[in-house]
Copies of this chain bind each other. A is one copy, B any other.
Amino acid sequence: MANLLSLNDLTVSEIDEILDRAEQIREMGDAGWFAPNHLLVANLFFEPSTRTRFSFETAEKRLGLQVLNFSSAASSTQKGETLYDTVRTMQAIGAKAVVIRHKKDEYYRELLEGIDVKILNAGDGAGNHPTQALLDLLTIHQEFFAFRGLTVAIIGDLRYSRVARSDAEVLNRLGCQVLLSGPEEWKNEKLPGKYVPVDDAIEAADAVIMLRIQHERHETAMKLTKEEYHDRYGLTRERAERMKPESIIMHPGPVNRGVELDGDLVESAHSRYFKQISNGVVARMAALEWALDLKDGRQASEPERIAEKL
């Protein structure tokens, strides 16, 4: 029972456990819905989100959790409340876990003391996005059954993307070769990985992760038009033809068609774009079970918890 702030806090065996469970739930199909329980979870999204919020909410409902949804525009944070007080309030109301997206890097630092609810990080600024990394790992594992020795290219906004950071760190730790590429001004020396030209990255990779251009974060930072970006750094149809036969295309979404990816590639045979989204639900179910110590939608009993550790 722990927070999920960054995959860096998890051991490889904990990551494996979560991925195995996610795959197990996926295989259960419609049986992977559990009876309602009395555990309250609050989704606190201080930044707009469709896919991540709906993905978490669906995961929570399938686990039988009771869900509170927070839309930052309609809330007391306008009244100047600290994040600590908001989360501590959710605890007082009875929440057992909170899922938080916030534009501030490591917003969770102020929540590490005094809070007794589990925190699942749904994205902190340019920091981490651990459940996105989990679903990306799940998607890659479904394809290649292992991580060690794979080559994964991460291309685009390496500087501000929390997806890039979360993916690069965990893929590197799991033994993948990480190739990085994108505009010079978005280079990020802190990421583990090797910078190579876009064409080289795409040709060498088993999995190509194209990052979203976050127009809402740095509107003026990039001087290229969308067409220019696509030509220089995007996955064009020409580049896609030079990918390895078994390689896959990934993207954290929402995709800007014709910018990061040629629109026709979104649902191409190589693409796992919508599969990633489906994987997001089961990955988040497994992550919530892990954080809340759940077993098939109810809290694990003490003997079950001990058995689990053996």
Contact = CB atoms under 8 A, between A and B. Distances in A.
Interface of A: 30, 33, 36, 38, 40, 42, 45, 48-51, 54-55, 57-58, 61-62, 66, 68-82, 85-86, 88-94, 114, 212, 215-216, 253-257, 266-267, 274-275, 277-278, 280-281
Given A75-B49, A76-B48, A92 B277 contact: yes
A114 B267 CA distance: 9
A50 B33 contact: no
A76 B45 CA distance: 12
A87 B89 CA distance: 29
Given A114-B267, A215-B80, A254 B51 contact: no
A94 B59 CA distance: 10
Contact of A30 (B38, B66, B255): B38
A58 B68 contact: yes
B274 A92 contact: yes
Given A40-B61, A86-B254, A89-B277, 11 more contacts: A40-B58, A50-B81, A57-B68, A58-B66, A58-B93, A73-B73, A78-B216, A79-B215, A80-B215, A80-B256, A82-B257
Given A75-B48, A81-B255, A253-B89, A94 B278 contact: yes
Given A54-B93, A81-B255, A73 B74 contact: yes
A74 B48 contact: yes
A81 B42 contact: no
Contacts of A36: 36
Contacts of A75: 48-50
Contacts of A215: 79-80
Given A81-B254, A89-B274, A94 B58 contact: yes
Q: Which 10 residue pairs spanning A and B have beta carbons closest together?
A: A92-B277, A81-B254, A50-B76, A92-B274, A50-B75, A33-B38, A92-B278, A76-B254, A71-B74, A79-B254
A54 B80 contact: no
Q: Which of A71, A86, A215, A275 has the most CB of B within 10 A?
A: A71
B93 A277 contact: yes
Contacts of A78: 48, 216
A33 B256 CA distance: 42
Nearest to A92: B277
Contacts of A77: 50
A138 to B, nearest CB: 14
